[in-house]
Structure 1
Amino acid sequence: MASLSLSDGEEEFGWRITGLGSAFNQANGYVEAGITKYQFTHSSSSISGVVDSVRAPASGGSTSTARRWVGYDPGTYDFWGYTRVKDGTYWPAGSDTVTVDSPAAQRPDDWGWSSVIRAGRPVRISAYEWNQFCNRINDFRLYVGLPEYGAFERAYSGDPITAEIVEHAVYAIRAMDPPVSTPRAPARGDLMRASIFLDLMDSLNSI
């Protein structure tokens, strides 16, 4: 008895019909095989809802046939297999359920400071670069399934790098439980040393 098996994939799935009574070819009377989205359990002279099909080769083959991948929208679906023979009759070939997954989220690129940040030298980061850093943090938060961090305030040219500004970055990264720990959140009046910005970068990039 013919049976249908389906294989999961990202925005696609595969199907395979096995257990045919003879090799799947035209010499044995087969015309095509495929799957339909509508329940199909009895032979019929017609069929609807065909999702995919393959033509039978002239000869050769085996008692199974398959399609490696079929592009499809994410979701969980029931499909029914069928074969069609020369006299026009469609025959059922089992059923199965498949889950088509959404594409996996792409990890954001590692962050790298454009500004020169070295121990013992004054830290000078432009407002534009700091805003971009906050955007990258939010990219990573979305990647791991967290919402964007809403407490970030846009920096403007001439704004000082305060403990509060850096503190938000620490908390926004820490919530993602990075493999490399975040630095200690600075307190009001703390000197913003180069190490804290390098540690923030390393912690974010470890995700």
Structure 2
Amino acid sequence: MTHEDVLTHLKTLHGHHRRDQLGALRSLFTWAKRTGLIFRNPTSRIKVGQNEYGVLQPLAPAQIDRSVAAATTPAARLILALAAVHAARVAQIGTLMFDDLDIGNRRLTIAGRARPLDDLTMKLLLDWLEHRRRRWPNTANLHLLINNQTATKTNRASNHWISTAMRGQDATLERLRVDRQLEEALTHGPDPLHLAQVFGLDEKTAMRYADSARRLLETSAESWNVVTASTDDQR
């Protein structure tokens, strides 16, 4: 097998299939060369290429509804809102401090970025603060979210505890976070600069969301045109 044979074969593959097969061929030919079975490795200098990501898909309303129903405590409801409304990661939720909260100006700083507090998040936040005050009135922990284990300490709650209510749901906290960013791209247009500004995304991530939104919008427009044409034909 020659270098050109490998390239010809790889042109028929895409995404992880291409990466997996190139990796397998590299291992095979590296072993063959090391044992003296071949003199030249035909996979040398062949680049894997960039990852080819699929189109991000929005969550179905029923999936979100099930997660909302699973959030039965003040903490869980606030955590869900932080992921679904503000696209906060689990670790970012866990590290929120009282200093990040500005109730008077309705602002919450997440990962160094100040965000306006919408009515829903504001209500859930006040509900949680009242519950926290009644449940642990003497705690010295300055993290916004605490539990029985951290109320007597100063460390943050674990990612496991933060994710507990959504575990096993289709709409996990991570999927809710992704869905929120995709919704922004679909609603305000697939503009990576806008996404980077709103959520603090890096360039590649913002472009991926924008590309997915663009392709979803194009598919939706094509489907609408097909339906319209079919309706016109029936008339």
Normalised to the residue count of structure 2, the TM-score between the two structures is 0.25
Structure (1 or 2) with the larger CA radius of gyration: 1
